[in-house]
Amino acid sequence: MSYLSIEFGLIFVVFFAIYWALRLLPKSQNNLLLISSYLIVASYSFQFAVILFFYTCAIYFFSVMIATSKYHAKRWLILGLSAAIINLALFKYFDFFRYELQSLLNYLNLSILLPVITVLIPIGISFYTFHSVSYLVSVKNKELSVAKFWDLALFLSFFPSIIAGPINRAKTFLPQIVVSKPREVLEPFRAFTLIILAIIKVYCLGGLISENWVTPIFSNPLEYCTLDLLVGLYAYAIQIYLNFSGYTDLVTGIALLLGFRLPINFNFPYLATNLRDFWDRWHISLSHWIRDYIYIPLGGSRHGFVRTQLNVMLAMLLSGLWHGAGINFIIWGSCHGIGIVFLNILDRYVGRGWIVQRSPIIARLLTWHYICFTWLFFCCESLTDALDYLNALCHNFLVDSHYIGVFIIICIVFLMYPICKNIPNWCTAQLSKINSIFLPVFFTLILWLTIYLAPSGVPNFIYANF
Amino acid sequence: MKYKKTLSKNRRKNRPKKIEKQNRVLKNNTTKNIKRVQKKSEKLDFLQNNQATFSAKNIFILLFITGIALIVIFHRSVLIYWQQTYHSDFLNSGSVTQEIIREDFDEPSNEILLGAPATIIEQNNYLNDANIQLRKDVLIFLQPDIIEIKKNNKHEQIHTQSIQDNKEVTQLSNNTNESVKDQVTVSTDLDTQKVLKHDIPLIHEPLPIVLTENDKVFFAGDSLMQGVAPYVKKMLFKQYKIESIDLSKQSTGLTYPNAFNWPKTINDILITDPSIKLLIVFLGPNDPWDFPVKGYSKYVKFKSPLWEQQYRLRIAAILNSAYEHGVQVLWLAAPCMRKSKLNDGMVYLNMLYQSEIEKTQQHFLTTNQLLGCTYEKFNSFIESDKEKIKVRVDDGVHFTPTGQKILAKAIMDKITFKELEGNDSD
């Protein structure tokens, strides 16, 4: 069930009423949340809910073993992490590697037909795997005691963040579940702002950009001129940002209305002046997760310059591979890795922030274009598609342009973008000033306009596939 | 935090001004500043108070009212969404059972026989919307003789209206014979007298699809087409420099013209772009559902005679507007589906597509063999001794990129490219 569908909206209003009717009983609220979360997972497929439940049991078992075992805690942790990763890899990558393995077997003339698993990738599996890793590590580091089974189950299945993040940390999220005193709605005006912004971003702007600019250009890049192809790349970069950050806004708003706080996931990523800065602003919960659970355990920057660059490369490759099994995602990851390594080298030999100090706008422009270039591999289904696009980008100078107006619009938006920085806070402040009697009218007007302008159909959440 | 930041910024900005400017201005400025600070602190207090008092109950009322208001405003879209998603009428849930249809069915046909065709014309409202006049039957026989039909065009337009009405009558009254073949012959019977002399080449091989660089291809369909069309688009342009238009849209079909009206869209596009020479259609999975027909209070059951008649009219409307604009049609059969109910629906729909296509001698491309499955046994894989190639995604409906490419190649194989004569420059 999509969180932007009519059904979800209606059910949520009812759910909200029941949830807060139980205000004095946080335990019952937890149970309600747990049941609803499982129902949402089961609305995709009943199997998914069963898989999630067994996974929760396994993680609970490992956490108990880690906490109780005096001498083998580390072994249990490794075992638990391996189990989690293997589970994820089997579902996500088996099909991809089956092809490679099969062609290898064929090449070696071994007549073995590999079995075929026709199970769908369970919804949210990436995200609950990340959640569980942070939980197991926290238990091992004695930051947390073993959670009660049902609390853990809610932590892993919490519906706002199970589909596409943000990635919660057990250390900050489990205490929010295990409260004894009544919960309160947190920052209602910020929640409203986030939800309305989300609908505008995903439904209206993202939908329009995708339908009018991205889809036509990407469907046959060879037909278009260089300028149009640039517009296509820019538009995709904008669309994926609007889609994903809008989704994050939506679930963060929903969680606030339920009295939970989710980690920040986006901080105006296209204002970044270098690639490292970008990863501090884009999908923050993922980049921090990768930093804490991959980059630092690999040795981080403690083993010299060369080793650091290797670690960066490896972390970025894994990040790429996480987004999907396929050569394009590996290229995407390595582009980011190479970019950061290059930046590190530049910092070491030329000086940190050499470009930024001289011209922040050029730094921003360069970063933006590099990121747009990497999105090309992210967006295209196959390497040949991406290469076709690049080829056309480099050769179609003489074809007539259809999107010159759009190009100018995007340039203006790019220059104006720093002003947008305060929009969410400004909106929150303005909303809080409106008399609460007029709020429904105001919301209705805004949403009416948004839905009226938006293309028909509920847009997909791009990141729900990962 | 943010407020503090902005405040301090304001102060910093204003300080030099204070020194530079005259007293009066300075006074103004400072008072303004003080006011601003006061305002901001008020705002902060207000914000905090308001946040505390804004309880869950208020939020519920707020959400509830907003929700109701939006549903009222968008009630039409909501009803269409409901129809598309749950395939029933929100207000009158449930659809007409077969028995009721039969009863219902006889009534209007009797009425018409008694000379009251109004309800039936209403039924075809959406076709009239599209300015499509049904000349299907005439077309079948006239097709080899294009010049002839153009000469007769005006004349026909006058009498087609009557043909249309007559045809409805005959179709309706004979529809109780559920056999498709019967229908075809019955519906054509009427015109045989008028056009008998053209009747000889009844079963014609469709003319091969030949395109030149100046021609365009038009893709129409649902999410299946959305997957396949980009590949064909790229291949067409890469190999032949042929441009194409892809309007495929997910969740569309011929069942709910209120949500998306393909016959009308196709007709409009063909009018605006005369360089289109080939229409490729690929749809079906969104269609095996009951749908409303004007003049009937309840939904008409899928596979019932009235359903079939309506659906055929929609297919014919597309083929007809293609014919009018001299556009060839390549219609892809909906492939096997994992869910048996959907699969059965596809078998039935394909029968309708194929028979209508054959009537107009256009191209019908069956897809099952290409995808390595049959309607009896679904398979996501094309299996050979050496390997299994996955062509369907796990939902049992859509294709993997490999599957899409296979279909795209099959479409490309149907197209013959002809170099333009005297085009030496390229």
What is the maximal distance between C-alpha atoms in chain B? Answer: 103
User: Looking at the complex, does the CB of residue A381 fall below 8 Å from at least one CB of chain B?
Assistant: yes
Residue A54 within any structural domain of the chain: yes
Nearest-CB residue to B54 (from A23, A385, A436): A436
Query: What does the CA dihedral A351, A357, A359, A364 come to, rounded to 10 degrees?
Result: 80
- Please list the alpha-helical segments (H only) found in B175-214: 180-195
**Do B113 and B316 form a contact (C-beta atoms < 8 A)?**
no
Token reading at A320: 């790429």
- What pLDDT score was predicted for residue A54? 94
Judge if A162 and A204 occupy the same domain. no
Task: Assign A345 to helix, strand or coil.
Answer: helix
Nearest-CB residue to A432 (from B47, B61, B395): B47
Nearest-CB residue to B401 (from A106, A381, A433): A381
Q: For chain A, positions 240-279, list CB contacts with chain B under 8 A.
A: 257
Count Cβ atoms below 10 Å from residue A116 Cβ, excluding itself.
14
Nearest-CB residue to A440 (from B50, B54, B62): B62
- What pLDDT score was predicted for residue B42? 47
Angle B411-B416-B419 from CA coordinates, rounded to 5°: 140
pLDDT tens-digit profile of A93-130? 877 777 777 777 777 777 666 666 556 788 888 899 99
Q: How far is B167 from chain A (nearest CA, A)?
A: 37
Residue A317 within any structural domain of the chain: no
Residue A455 within any structural domain of the chain: no
User: Looking at the complex, does the CB of residue A382 fall below 8 Å from at least one CB of chain B?
Assistant: yes
Task: Assign B392 to helix, strand or coil.
Answer: strand
Which residue from A3, A26, A53 is spatially nearest to A156, judged by alpha carbons? A53
Query: What does the CA dihedral B141, B144, B150, B151 come to, rounded to 10 degrees?
Result: -80
Lowest-confidence pick of A14-28, A52-66, A324-338, B5-19: B5-19
Q: How far is A75 from chain B (nearest CA, A)?
A: 36
Judge if A13 and A142 occupy the same domain. yes
- What pLDDT score was predicted for residue B182? 42
Query: Is B63 in contact with A16 (Cβ distance < 8 A)?
Result: yes
A305-323 and A327-349 are packed helices; what angle lies between their axes, rounded to 10 degrees? Answer: 150
Query: Is B234 in contact with A388 (Cβ distance < 8 A)?
Result: yes
Q: Which of B373, B387, B400 to mutate to test the interface with A (most CBs of A within 10 A)?
A: B387
Residue A294 within any structural domain of the chain: no
Residues of A in contact with B54 (CB under 8 A): 185, 188-189, 436
Between A371 and B162, residue with greater pLDDT: A371
Q: How far is A440 from chain B (nearest CA, A)?
A: 5
- What pLDDT score was predicted for residue B279? 92
State how far the alpha carbon of A281 is from the alpha carbons of A223, A273, A315, A316, A365, in Å: 35, 11, 17, 15, 16
**Do A166 and A262 form a contact (C-beta atoms < 8 A)?**
yes
Q: How far is A199 from chain B (nearest CA, A)?
A: 13
Average pLDDT of chain A, as a whole number? 87
Domain boundary residue among A151, A177, A203? A177
- Measure the CA–CA gap between A323 and A319, rounded to whole angstroms: 7
**Do A296 and A314 form a contact (C-beta atoms < 8 A)?**
no
Token reading at B3: 């407020």
User: Looking at the complex, does the CB of residue A440 fall below 8 Å from at least one CB of chain B?
Assistant: yes
- Minimum CA–CA partner of A102 in chain B: B387
In this structure, what DSSP letter does residue B299 have? B
Residue A460 within any structural domain of the chain: no
Q: How far does Cα B360 stand from its chain's mean position? A: 21
In this structure, what DSSP letter does residue A199 have? I
Judge if A172 and A192 occupy the same domain. no
Judge if A252 and A173 occupy the same domain. no
Judge if A268 and A131 occupy the same domain. no
Residues of B in contact with A449 (CB under 8 A): none
Confidence of residue A45 (pLDDT cuts 50, 70, 90): confident
Query: Is A457 in contact with B246 (Cβ distance < 8 A)?
Result: no
| Number of compact structural domains in chain A | 2
Domain boundary residue among A157, A177, A197? A177
- Minimum CA–CA partner of B84 in chain A: A457
* CB contact set of B272 (below 8 Å; sequence gap of 6+): none
What is the maximal distance between C-alpha atoms in chain A? Answer: 76
Judge if A263 and A399 occupy the same domain. yes
Residue A456 within any structural domain of the chain: no
What ipTM is given for this predicted complex?
0.79
Task: Point out which residues pair with B416 in neighbouring strands.
Answer: B210
Q: How many CB pairs under 8 A join A and B?
A: 111
User: Looking at the complex, does the CB of residue A188 fall below 8 Å from at least one CB of chain B?
Assistant: yes
User: Looking at the complex, does the CB of residue A115 fall below 8 Å from at least one CB of chain B?
Assistant: no
Residues B261-285 as b/e (b if ≥16 CB within 10 A, e otherwise) read bbbbbbbebbeeeeebbbbbbbbbb
Q: For chain A, positions 280-319, list CB contacts with chain B under 8 A.
A: none
Query: Is A433 in contact with B43 (Cβ distance < 8 A)?
Result: yes
- Measure the CA–CA gap between B137 and B188, rounded to whole angstroms: 6
Between B139 and A244, residue with greater pLDDT: A244
Which residue from B220, B216, B306 is spatially nearest to B263, judged by alpha carbons? B220
Phi, psi (5° rounding) for residue A15? Answer: -55, -45
**Do A273 and A356 form a contact (C-beta atoms < 8 A)?**
yes
* CB contact set of A109 (below 8 Å; sequence gap of 6+): none
- Measure the CA–CA gap between B216 and A170, rounded to whole angstroms: 57
User: Looking at the complex, does the CB of residue A120 fall below 8 Å from at least one CB of chain B?
Assistant: yes
B422 backbone φψ class: left, alpha, beta (φ>0; ψ -120 to 50): left
Residues of A in contact with B395 (CB under 8 A): 120
Residues of A in contact with B238 (CB under 8 A): 222
Domain boundary residue among A121, A147, A177? A177
Sign of dihedral through CA atoms B315, B316, B322, B325?
Answer: negative
Residue A341 in this model has a pLDDT that exceeds 90: yes
Which residue from B322, B321, B345 is spatially nearest to B335, judged by alpha carbons? B345
Judge if A32 and A171 occupy the same domain. yes
- Please list the alpha-helical segments (H only) found in B97-201: 98-113, 118-123, 125-129, 136-142, 146-174, 180-195
Judge if A132 and A197 occupy the same domain. no
Query: Is A220 in contact with B230 (Cβ distance < 8 A)?
Result: yes
Which residue from A142, A136, A220 is spatially nearest to A170, judged by alpha carbons? A136
Pairing of strands B381-383, B388-390: antiparallel
Query: Is B388 in contact with A13 (Cβ distance < 8 A)?
Result: no
Query: Is B54 in contact with A257 (Cβ distance < 8 A)?
Result: no
Query: Is A185 in contact with B70 (Cβ distance < 8 A)?
Result: no
Query: Is A106 in contact with B237 (Cβ distance < 8 A)?
Result: no
- What pLDDT score was predicted for residue B172? 42
Confidence of residue A372 (pLDDT cuts 50, 70, 90): very high
Written as one letter, the residue type at A454 is: A
- Expressed as residue numbers, the domain containing A129 is 6-177
Judge if A368 and A250 occupy the same domain. yes
- Minimum CA–CA partner of A451 in chain B: B74
Q: How far does Cα B411 stand from its chain's mean position? A: 20
Between B259 and A64, residue with greater pLDDT: A64
Query: Is B230 in contact with A219 (Cβ distance < 8 A)?
Result: yes
Query: Is B62 in contact with A439 (Cβ distance < 8 A)?
Result: yes
Nearest-CB residue to A222 (from B73, B234, B249): B234
Sign of dihedral through CA atoms B225, B231, B236, B242?
Answer: positive
Confidence of residue A55 (pLDDT cuts 50, 70, 90): very high
Nearest-CB residue to A9 (from B58, B67, B238): B67
- Gap between the terminal Cα atoms of chain B: 66
Residue A326 in this model has a pLDDT that exceeds 90: no
Written as one letter, the residue type at A150 is: W
Judge if A95 and A221 occupy the same domain. no
Residue A100 within any structural domain of the chain: yes
- What pLDDT score was predicted for residue A2? 81
Query: Is A189 in contact with B47 (Cβ distance < 8 A)?
Result: yes
Q: How far does Cα B134 stand from its chain's mean position? A: 20
In chain B (426 residues long), the average pLDDT of successive 10-residue segments reads: 38 39 44 49 46 72 88 83 72 48 41 37 42 40 38 42 42 42 41 41 70 89 89 88 87 84 91 91 88 81 88 92 90 89 90 89 88 85 76 84 89 86 51
Confidence of residue A371 (pLDDT cuts 50, 70, 90): very high
- Measure the CA–CA gap between B361 and B146, rounded to whole angstroms: 13
Residue A302 within any structural domain of the chain: no
State how far the alpha carbon of B92 is from the alpha carbons of A273, A382, B137, in Å: 58, 47, 36
H helix count then E strand count, chain A: 23, 0
Q: How far is B237 from chain A (nearest CA, A)?
A: 7
User: Looking at the complex, does the CB of residue A69 fall below 8 Å from at least one CB of chain B?
Assistant: no
Which residue from A236, A217, A221 is spatially nearest to A403, judged by alpha carbons? A217
Query: Is B51 in contact with A456 (Cβ distance < 8 A)?
Result: no
High-pLDDT (> 90) share of chain A, %: 38
Judge if A255 and A385 occupy the same domain. yes
Confidence of residue A301 (pLDDT cuts 50, 70, 90): confident
Residues A388-425 as b/e (b if ≥16 CB within 10 A, e otherwise) read bbbebbeebeebebebeebbeebeeebeeeeeeeeebe
Judge if A154 and A270 occupy the same domain. no
